[in-house]
Amino acid sequence: MKRSRTAETASPQMVKSVLSLIFVSAVLLRSARVFRVDFAPWWDGVGWGYADLWTSQAADLAFNVSTAGLDFRTEGLVYVPLLGIFLKIFGFTPGMEIWAWVLVLISATIPVMAAGTVHELTGRLGGAVLVAILVTLDPVQEAFGLNGWSDSITFFAVSLSFLTFARAAARPTRSRLVALGMALGLTALSHATWTWPAMSWAVMSWPLLAFRRHWWTTGNADHPGGPTIRLATPLLAFLVTILVVNFLVLAIAPESADNLFPVLSSDTNNQRALISTLNPDVEWDTWEPADTVRTLLFVVPGRFPSLLADLIGQQITGVMHLSTWLLLGMGAALLYIASTVGRKTVSRGALLALPVFAWLAWSSQATFDATVPALILTMALAWIYVPQSRGLFIAILPITALLAIFLPHNTHFRHSNAILYAVLIVFGLVVDAAAARWQGGRFKFSPGRWDRVALTLRLAPAGLVVILLAWAISQSAAAYSFRRAEDSYLRWLGTIMEPGDLLLTSGNVNPWRVQRLIGSPVVYDVEHGSRLFVTGDSPTWGPRLSAIIGTFETHEEFLATLSANGRNWFYRPGSPAFEPLVVFSQLGADTSATYYSLDPVAHFPDDPTRPAFVVGQPLEDDRSPPDLPSQTGRG
Amino acid sequence: MKPVLVRTRAPFLVGVGLVLLAALVFGSTTWQQPASRADPVSRITVGPFASGESFGQQFTTETSYFSRVVVRVRAREGNGSPVVAKLNFRLFQGGDLVREGQASIPGLPESSHPVSWSFTPLAESAGSVYELQVVVAEISGGKLVADATTADALPGSILANGIPGAEHTDLVLRPFRELRRTGVLLAIGDSVPGGGIGVVILLGAAGAIGGLGFHALRRGHGGSGPVDWLVWAFLGVAIVSLASSIPLTRFQAVMAAEGDPGFVLETRGMALGVALVPWMMFVAAKATGRLAELRASEPGGRLFIAAITTTAIGLLLLVITEGPVYFQWIEMIEGGRPEQGRIPLLRQVGSTSFIRVSMAAWIAVWLLSLGRGASPSTSPPGTR
């Protein structure tokens, strides 16, 4: 039986329309990033180049039937085969370019699933739209959803897990329970971080669904969900998914078969590094598995509040746009709910969590960042007054604990994004609950200004979607215009380059497209080791420039080799800086990063302020280029 | 109706307690604040200086009531016995001697040793240029050298026996101001229109208004004569006194604290908050027809209001709290962080304190409700 509609619930047509508009907006906003090549499967936005690993593995899988990429420890178990399929079907270069747009679609699905999750939990659209907007604008989702890291698939899988979890709680039919188990399986397989948290979620889904009357309040009392044993279906589906993939990997990727359950193996060096960081008594060389147990039992509990405070301050509240205002808004909504909730019983079970919240809020580390106790307080209030949030909190508890413990070692924003996602969903639930309560109360005043305010509130979600869409259209149009202007510049550049010349580029370009437009060889991303040498459509990832010209001792030698038959031009998209420079780094094992000047030799007829540059001389002052930032975000 | 002395006893005693506490906090307050942002770090030494020799340096103070200066010296060429010295300090402004004094060093080590000279505050010192001359009046057991820096942190250069050193070489010298009770009040008074009296009037008026507001919110069982008003106004003044004296200790090491936005907000904001909050609650309760309910509320209900109020204040302060220290950066975002919309006026501690207190209040509220089998609210059953 479907949930009964009230005056505040949206019609199915309206829900579909809103979700469609959110999807279109997200596609347009993500497209703008790809048009400008802020992020692409070959450009991570910084220059780490780590995605080259998965790209190479996918190409090997597609063209050489090499299963080396199907190693769980490299965290591309889902990403690599998916990319491999596209490379196989379309060929390497078109496959990579199409894959960039596939990632746009995958990434744009996530705000829709976030909205769907909130809508499923509340039956209304207001909070759902807010959450969708916040997820769309999440900078980490945007970057790592598009930049060729396998985390794009993990984001999708996590989002799908939340949606299927909400759907299973709303109406635990067999298909929904199976979908939940499979989504959790996909999450576990997509990234090593999630193996055990996803399994914990699958295990806990049984009691969470069985006792959902303690946290689920939206009109499904007539859906008891059948016998309790049936609610173990997600766990069963999860195990089947994991085991099927496990034995499939065993069968086709013998190099992964160093044990019977390769999908459960993780990098023990991570554990070794973590334990030797947390526990000064343990050293890297002498670490044993028992040290992990001892550290978890006797060291971690004392440090946990400060670890969690760092995780929240650095990676949750520190990543939200307008985080202090969001916390204020969420707090105001919760205070409104609390002051109007009436004599609602607070269960002893719900109160059990409060000492934990208090312990965390009063930890000394929380004084360094007021958003930490603020978030913990608002989550505690949500736990009490918005029961749907309890199911979500319990579901993300394992991954939160794991990431907090690993924070000193390698927890990165892309890992903790799942927690941020859950916090945003709770934000949506809270705002929605407050708005629904306000509307329910104020409709008693009639006719008058409160009705008009209530009507405005009801129209607010539609208004927000329209604003989002307008913003997305303007962004993508501007980006498309930028792309056309750059293409025009490159075509002109191709006309002034002579045979034997080379074009050196920055990382934020599509090297194959650039090569097609100029008709000369391209040395891609010279600022991060010249990651590709492109002479036409490549049959696979590569080759690196060093494979063509060999090794060299100095940058001068490198440039001399390149310019043996012509000049070295340089291209970076967008308007040139006041003092145009290029950094040569990681080109040789012993070469240090050096600034080189760029000399203008001609001017683009369509824009006389835009020169064409050739590489000049090394700068002979004290300036040295900054180091490439750490992949863990620690400066 | 209870007799006036009975019904005003509790607020009067609470007020006296708060005033005593405020007096204790205020009486123990000492502001020791830098008088200049320049913080030269020891890099080299200049000297050695024997008896009768001198060193000096020009510097600028940025705050009023400059009253202390610290230089760093160390022993050299010792003969094995402890190096004991007396230093004469002379402070000039525009060539005129404005302060003079002496400091003794009973046993000067060979490592960097701070020597502090305090003097009567110079009220008009903000933005003034001074010259310090340090004369080694007596020294035994060796000589001394003065710590210097090559970072050109101060105007001019170090003077050794009146001879200027290299342009970028400065004496390691830090000016401070050291104020207690009246001095603190004077410094704050100079920063506002009306001076110290204006500050006292503002705080007194805010407290009295707030106290009368609390009286208006009080359970409606009598008492609205002049004595009641006086006692409740006194209670409000006592609350404001304590609330305003706490920032005095918190900002004791902040340069020019009286002009610091956080200090201004915490002192005047606190006073205004005490003045306005009870009246806002009064007006809101009256507008929603809940004044009688509020006046008749039980301790659980009042605790609930305290939890709501402290949460609201904590979250409101969060918006005007400066950004925390980040050690992780999102490299693909310009500036490493998304725009968080902060108005950076306060430090973390204000918001954190309120939120922590509110956390405790909420837990007390929920535990109380558990005892009664119902959740906390001021709403009677079935209101919603």
Q: Tens of pLDDT along B82-100? A: 888 898 999 998 888 888 9
Q: At A355, give phi and psi (nearest 5°).
A: -55, -35
What pLDDT is attached to residue A428? Answer: 95
Round to whole Å and give the CA distance between A43 and A33.
Answer: 11
Greater pLDDT, A281 or A171: A171
Q: Which of A407, A419, A485, A10 is nearest to A197 (CA)?
A: A419
In the A/B pair of chains, how many CB contacts fall below 8 A?
Answer: 180
Q: Is the peptide bond before B48 cis (omega within 30 degrees of 0)?
A: yes
Cβ atoms of A138 and A88 within 8 Å: the answer is no
- For residues A174-194, give the mean pLDDT: 94
Establish how many alpha carbons lie within 13 A of residue A211's alpha carbon, considering only the half-sphere containing its beta carbon: 10
- For residues A410-416, give the mean pLDDT: 89
Of A335, A343, A381, the CB nearest to B381: A343
Round to whole Å and give the CA distance between A449 and A8.
Answer: 18
CB contact B335 to A (< 8 Å):
no
Q: Is the ipTM here above 0.95?
A: no
Kindly give the parts of chain B with pLDDT less than 70. 1-2, 4-6, 151, 219-223, 371-384
Locus of tokens 């291209």: A571
Strand partners, B75: B144
Q: Do A319 and B330 touch (CB under 8 A)?
A: yes
Q: Is the pLDDT of residue A443 over 80?
A: no
Round to whole Å and give the CA distance between B382 and A342.
Answer: 7
Greater pLDDT, B305 or A166: A166
Cβ atoms of A181 and A237 within 8 Å: the answer is yes
Establish how many alpha carbons lie within 13 A of residue A482's alpha carbon, considering only the half-sphere containing its beta carbon: 19
Residue A414 — pLDDT band, cuts 50, 70, 90? Answer: very high
What pLDDT is attached to residue A2? Answer: 41
What pTM did the predictor assign? Answer: 0.76
Strand partners, B96: B93
Task: Look up residue B321 and give its DSSP letter.
Answer: B
| Best of A33, A44, A133, A328 to mutate (most B CBs within 10 Å, chain B) | A328
Q: Is the pLDDT of residue A109 over 90?
A: yes
Interface of A with B in 568-627 (CB under 8 A): none
Task: Look up residue A630 and give its DSSP letter.
Answer: P
Cβ atoms of B361 and B369 within 8 Å: the answer is no
- For residues A618-622, give the mean pLDDT: 67
Residue A343 — pLDDT band, cuts 50, 70, 90? Answer: low
Greater pLDDT, B89 or A271: B89
Greater pLDDT, A162 or B258: A162
Q: Per residue in A75-97, pLDDT tens? A: 888 999 999 999 999 999 999 99
Residue A7 — pLDDT band, cuts 50, 70, 90? Answer: very low
CB contact A328 to B (< 8 Å):
yes
Of B330, B370, B375, the CB nearest to A139: B330
Cβ atoms of B237 and B214 within 8 Å: the answer is no
Round to whole Å and give the CA distance between B212 and B231.
Answer: 9
Cβ atoms of B158 and B55 within 8 Å: the answer is yes
A contacts of B381 (beta carbons < 8 Å):
342-343
Locus of tokens 């034995």: A247
Q: Are strands A568-571 and A502-505 parallel, antiparallel or unpaired?
A: parallel
Interface of A with B in 352-371 (CB under 8 A): 354-355, 357-358, 361-362, 366-371
- Mean pLDDT is lowest, of A200-209, A615-624, B99-108, for A615-624
Round to whole Å and give the CA distance between B83 and B138.
Answer: 10
Q: Is the pLDDT of residue A321 over 80?
A: yes
What pLDDT is attached to residue B269? Answer: 75
Q: Do B384 and A437 touch (CB under 8 A)?
A: yes
Residue A589 — pLDDT band, cuts 50, 70, 90? Answer: low
CB contact B284 to A (< 8 Å):
no
Interface of B with A in 296-325 (CB under 8 A): 304, 308, 311-312, 314-319, 321, 324-325
Two tokens at A167? 């759907």
Two tokens at A363? 């930890």
A329: nearest CA in chain B?
A: B315
Greater pLDDT, A384 or A592: A384
A contacts of B383 (beta carbons < 8 Å):
342
Greater pLDDT, A428 or B166: A428
What pLDDT is attached to residue B382? Answer: 32
Q: Do B324 and A323 touch (CB under 8 A)?
A: no
Please provide the size of chain B in residues. 384
- C-alpha dist (Å) from residue B124 to A135, A410, B61, B93, B292: 55, 54, 10, 12, 55
- For residues A457-478, give the mean pLDDT: 89
Q: Is the pLDDT of residue A396 over 90?
A: yes
Residue A101, classed as helix, strand or coil, is helix
- C-alpha dist (Å) from residue A141 to A110, A135, A153, A193, A523: 9, 7, 11, 17, 30
Round to whole Å and give the CA distance between B35 and B169.
Answer: 21
Interface of A with B in 444-463 (CB under 8 A): none
Q: Which of A77, A231, A48, A42 is nearest to A154 (CA)?
A: A77
CB contact A133 to B (< 8 Å):
no
Task: Name, in order, each residue with C-beta under 8 angstroms of A393's C-beta and a sequence gap of 6 or more.
Answer: A353, A379, A383, A422, A426
What pLDDT is attached to residue A377? Answer: 93
Cβ atoms of B158 and B72 within 8 Å: the answer is no
Residue A32, classed as helix, strand or coil, is helix
Cβ atoms of A139 and B340 within 8 Å: the answer is no
Of B324, B342, B370, the CB nearest to A351: B370
CB contact A443 to B (< 8 Å):
no
Task: Name, in order, each residue with C-beta under 8 angstroms of B137's C-beta and a sequence gap of 6 or more.
Answer: B51, B85, B86, B87, B88, B102
Q: Which of B217, B13, B317 is nearest to A374 (CA)?
A: B317
Highest-pLDDT range among A185-199, A265-279, B253-267: A185-199
What pLDDT is attached to residue A62? Answer: 93
| Best of B308, B340, B358 to mutate (most A CBs within 10 Å, chain A) | B340
Percentage of residues in chain A having pLDDT higher than 70: 86
Query: Residue B175: which H helix or E strand, with range?
Result: strand B173-180
What pLDDT is attached to residue A442? Answer: 53
What pLDDT is attached to residue A58? Answer: 94
Cβ atoms of B363 and A354 within 8 Å: the answer is yes
Q: Per residue in A45-79, pLDDT tens? A: 988 888 999 999 999 999 988 888 887 777 888 99
Q: Do A361 and B355 touch (CB under 8 A)?
A: yes
Q: Do A323 and B340 touch (CB under 8 A)?
A: yes
Q: At B159, give phi and psi (nearest 5°).
A: -110, 120
CB contact B332 to A (< 8 Å):
yes
What pLDDT is attached to residue A135? Answer: 96
Q: How many CB atoms lie within 10 A of CB A135?
A: 27
Q: Per residue in B131-174, pLDDT tens? A: 999 999 888 888 898 888 776 778 888 888 888 877 777 888 98
- C-alpha dist (Å) from residue B160 to A37, A319, B168: 62, 54, 14
Task: Look up residue B221 and give its DSSP letter.
Answer: S
Task: Look up residue B78 and give its DSSP letter.
Answer: -
Q: Which of A52, A54, A53, A51 is nearest to A84 (CA)?
A: A54
B contacts of A440 (beta carbons < 8 Å):
384
Task: Look up residue A153 and give its DSSP letter.
Answer: H
DSSP labels, A484-535: HHHHHHHHHHHHH--TT-EEEE-SSS-HHHHHHHH-S-EEE-GGGT--EEES
A contacts of B285 (beta carbons < 8 Å):
none
Q: Is the peptide bond before A234 cis (omega within 30 degrees of 0)?
A: no
DSSP E strand boundaries for A268-343: none
Vertex A472 angle, CA A162 and A116, to 5°: 20
Two tokens at B252? 């004791």
Round to whole Å and give the CA distance between A52 and A542.
Answer: 9
